[in-house]
């Protein structure tokens, strides 16, 4: 089924691309949500709180969207956690277009956005959460992995579900150069502007971005919780080969499911398989 967003009337000669976003609001997904604001270091960040079928559940899921995507994109995964009784938070963060604006409004590729999602975890704890699963979509996976690897929530975070994860920014930058018709090596020219404090500030970043700290191939041994990765074989933005490598490095914790899909499109390519895969994994690895 296809449809267009309200107020959007494309012309025949215009170009468009598929975003994969299927539900614009919780109501569209058949979910009942509360609008809340989470106090973060950047300011109040809008979020949806969606209670699961078990209203007294101490199991929570926090859904983290990716770069350039609204939080509504994660609603595809919220329906699974709701059916399993989890309370869900669908969060925003600094400079994502919905959350608070900070500095020049530039993304730091998950390096500072993590602090705002950290605040969402603290909100969940204050509301009674005793077990948390993080759903990270694309760049949201970077945020989820950082939180799970740190010591603060070692006893709280029980699992990760990563959709089309960005696991290595250098590989992702190269892939997106190739996607744009540029030599993959052209991405190397961008790296100094990210990792040099002086150059980073010159392009409006608050400081350098520690790309080495955001490389989960080199940090594979730091993974500490069961992790499910759903990745599309045709993803030309976040290379699926990186997910395969991580799964090979940590077969004790990482389970990879490959779909015939593009970036963040695995749910769209096969809704029933995605739902049953995620639900079965949560029941086997987290709930029990």
Most confident stretch, 47-61, 119-133, 209-223:
119-133
Given a cut of 90, whether residue 42 has pLDDT beyond it is yes
pTM above 0.75, yes or no: yes
Of 108, 110, 113, the closest CA to residue 92 belongs to 113
Of the chain, the end-to-end C-alpha distance in Å amounts to 36
Share of the chain above pLDDT 70, in %: 88
For the chain, the residue count is 288
Given a cut of 80, whether residue 54 has pLDDT beyond it is no
Given a cut of 90, whether residue 176 has pLDDT beyond it is no
Given a cut of 70, whether residue 55 has pLDDT beyond it is no
Given a cut of 90, whether residue 178 has pLDDT beyond it is no
pLDDT digits (tens, 9 = 90+) for 92-145: 999 999 999 998 899 999 999 999 999 999 999 999 999 999 999 999 999 999
Given a cut of 50, whether residue 1 has pLDDT beyond it is no
- Residue 10 confidence (pLDDT): 60
Given a cut of 50, whether residue 21 has pLDDT beyond it is yes
Given a cut of 70, whether residue 246 has pLDDT beyond it is yes
């Amino acid at each position: 089924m296809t449809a267009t967003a309200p107020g959007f009337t494309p012309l025949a000669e215009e170009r468009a691309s598929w975003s994969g976003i299927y539900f614009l609001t919780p109501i569209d997904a058949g979910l009942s949500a509360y609008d809340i604001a989470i106090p973060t270091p950047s300011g109040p960040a809008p979020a949806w709180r969606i209670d699961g079928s078990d209203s007294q559940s101490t199991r929570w899921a926090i859904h983290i969207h990716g770069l350039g995507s609204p939080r509504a994109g994660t609603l595809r995964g919220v329906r699974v956690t709701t059916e399993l009784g989890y309370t869900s938070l669908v969060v925003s963060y600094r400079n994502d277009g919905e959350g608070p604006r900070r500095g020049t409004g530039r993304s730091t590729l998950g390096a500072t956005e993590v602090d705002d999602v950290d605040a969402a975890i603290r909100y969940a704890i204050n509301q009674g959460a005793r077990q948390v699963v993080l759903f990270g979509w694309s760049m949201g996976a970077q945020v989820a992995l950082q939180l799970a690897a740190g010591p603060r929530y070692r006893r709280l975070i029980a699992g990760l579900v990563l959709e089309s994860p960005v696991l290595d920014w250098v590989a992702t930058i190269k892939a997106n150069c190739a996607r744009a018709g540029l030599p993959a090596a052209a991405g190397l020219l961008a790296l100094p502007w990210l990792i040099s404090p002086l150059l980073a500030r010159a392009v409006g970043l608050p400081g350098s971005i520690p790309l080495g700290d955001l490389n989960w191939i080199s940090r594979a041994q730091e993974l500490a919780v069961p992790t499910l990765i759903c990745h599309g074989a045709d993803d030309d933005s976040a290379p699926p080969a990186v997910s395969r490598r991580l799964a090979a490095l940590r077969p004790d914790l990482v389970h990879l499911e490959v779909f015939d899909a593009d970036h963040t499109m695995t749910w769209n390519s096969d809704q029933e398989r995605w739902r049953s895969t995620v639900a079965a994994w949560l029941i086997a690895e987290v709930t029990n």
